[in-house]
Structure 1
């Protein structure tokens, strides 16, 4: 099944090899929206985690002190989660930048695997040529398997 292409920003640490560069997808982060504080902890976004938990506590205190109903409380919590989904990947990019990583540019691909190949081909041509082909990505078929001329088919495991 063909998926829609996504755009990923490419981030490189001065000390990291091209294989260790980070791809951050552009757009809404469903993981941040659904798992909120757990996603922030997993991504080690500690300041954002503290602020998010502070917002949740403030919403809870406001409900206790003002007595607004459960529907309003749920709406405010949902709004905080939507905001986190909208800004989650930008928070990741800001953290990488604060740690000295630089953004090299963007690549477009249908999957994370395709984005990694495009990243290496565009930003590290020497590394892309020297990089081993992942197991299962390509498989020789036909006479080539026995050493003759054949064709290479992508995605056959």
Structure 2
């Protein structure tokens, strides 16, 4: 099962308003990054990583051809570079996010991105319950708050039934009538 890292923008990224900007980066091998390395880097706007890839690839090609290595060996070396790109694509993306002042919030294990988002936001919303003035969170577990105002019917708690037992059978072992 793949692991996803969750990144939030800015130094205080755990803000309720920034949830649309959270980025989920899947850890593991990226096939399209291996096949179309530069285009994958452009698509994900990894400009510095693209520049490094172009420089590395050009230097690698120039170095191998200056050593007199055959074309088939250079082709195999290019395949190794492509495999390396597929393996390290997610690391390059996380590195670029960390350079842009994004911070990693969590690591989530899930089958796909949608499940990872659901698991993360379930866990993250549990942690966010302590936020003051959160108008979106509703606690449905307790009774509504009452005010202690004398003479008001909502101020007094409801009276207990006459035997102190609530239910169908007011006495243990008794009948319903």
Same fold at TM > 0.5:
yes
The root-mean-square deviation of aligned C-alpha atoms, in Å, is 2.2
- Greater Cα radius of gyration, structure 1 or 2: 2
- Alpha-carbon separation, structure 1, partners of 2:6 and 2:64: 42
Alpha-carbon deviations, 1:8-47, whole Å to 9, x = none? 0111112762132110011112221111111111111112
Structure with more of its chain in strand, by fraction: 1
Question: In the alignment, is the contact (CA less than 8 A) between 1:18 and 1:124 conserved in 2?
Answer: no
Aligned counterparts of 1:29 and 1:42: Cα–Cα separation in 2: 13
Runs of 4 or more, structure 1, over 4 Å off, are: none
User: Residue deviations 1:91-123, cap 9 Å, x none?
Assistant: 111111111111111111111111111111112
- Check the 8 A contact 1:10/1:23 in 2, yes or no: yes
**Aligned match of 1:70:** 71
1:111 is matched with 112
- CA displacement, residues 56-78 of structure 1 (integer Å, 9 cap, x when unaligned): 22233234433321111111111
Q: Secondary structure at the match of 1:17?
A: helix
Aligned to 1:31: 32
In terms of fraction of residues, the more helix-rich structure is 1
- SS of residue matched to 1:124: helix
Secondary structure in structure 1 of the residue aligned to 2:36: helix
Could you tell me the TM-score, scaled by structure 1's length? 0.70
Matched, 1:11 2:12: no
TM-score of the pair, normalised by structure 2: 0.63
Unaligned segments of structure 1, at least 5 residues: 131-157
